[in-house]
Amino acid sequence: MDLTAANHRIPLSDGNSIPIIGLGTYSEPKLTSKGSCKTSVKMALDVGYQHIDGAYIYRNEDEVGEAIREKIAEGRVKREDIFYCGKLWSTHFEPERVRPYLEKTLKALQLDYVDLYIIEMPMALKALEACKDAGLVKSLGVSNFNRRQLELILNKPGLKYKPVSNQVECHPYFTQRKLLEFCQQHDIVIVAYSPLGTSRNPLWVNVSIPPLLKDELLNSLGKKYNKTAAQVALRFNIQRRIVVIPKSFNPKRIKENFQIFDFSLTEEEMKSIEALNKDVRLVDLLLWSDHPEYPFHEEY
């Protein structure tokens, strides 16, 4: 299936579908002015984005919801055209806390359901199945799961809904080749966060790795196609059928990041970009290093 700006959804294993590019909405609250998230989401919907990635813990779901509702009221989009992904944070995994936390997201957004709800870290899925049965969630997914953790879920007795997606760090410097192969074998879509690298905050970023967007190959290919290094990096992943959710509150970047459907990379160019892989992540997950199933030093 050819992906276009107007039609860029790919199927999920439960019969639903996911747009292959979305807008990430995480930002550090202290560094983000109030209203900037709302403005960015509205612009993204005007540009043609259908997929918004957020979380209650980001503290801006109210702005995301306002933006969506205003665009619906304008007639720019319909609710069924929008794909919203929310997240269950790791402090709310007790079964009795799952639905109330999801309901906080729905209240902040003022929406009846979310399209995808993912477990932020490797924990059990079972408590979320009732939320899907109740119509509060269309699809269930996971985040930061490696192959072993996915196998534990897939082989769990009584599993009602297998995860349709796995959101992980993925970009030309961390291509996740083995994990991608495993997920494709099991009909699980990879969703790439930090597909353009990330900020250089040493508190949570491995700054020993050079900035992705300054890479010589990505920039040379950008010149060939009259594109930016960022657009080349995003195109690389969507040609691998990986969903990308670049975060930006910059109007120019939001527009540029979406302009990736009017060119394609050759097979040789794809192989050249794959060869940039360093098998080292940028986003430091040491926050969860005391978790009993923490093996994040392994390749996903």
Q: How far apart are CA 281 and CA 299, in angstroms?
A: 9
Name residue 77's amino acid. Answer: V
H helix intervals, the chain: 36-47, 61-74, 95-109, 126-133, 147-154, 177-185, 216-225, 229-238, 251-258, 267-274
Q: For 30, left (φ over 0), alpha (ψ -120 to 50), or beta? A: alpha
Q: How far apart are CA 67 and CA 35, in angstroms?
A: 10
Name residue 202's amino acid. Answer: P
- CA separation, residue 288 to residues 89, 91, 203, 296 (Å): 12, 11, 14, 9
Name residue 246's amino acid. Answer: P
- DSSP states of 100-140: HHHHHHHHHHT-S-EEEEEESSS--SHHHHHHHHTTSEEEE
Q: For 155, left (φ over 0), alpha (ψ -120 to 50), or beta? A: alpha
Tokens standing for residue 190: 């990879």
Is 294 among the residues known to form the active site?
A: no
Tokens standing for residue 140: 């269930």
For residues 64 and 52, the answer to whether their CB atoms sit within 8 Å is yes
Query: Of these residues, 58, 101, 193, 300, which one is catalytic?
Result: 58
Q: How far apart are CA 171 and CA 47, in angstroms?
A: 23
Helix (H, G, I), strand (E, B) or coil at 85: strand
For residues 190 and 166, the answer to whether their CB atoms sit within 8 Å is yes
- Residues serving a catalytic function are 58
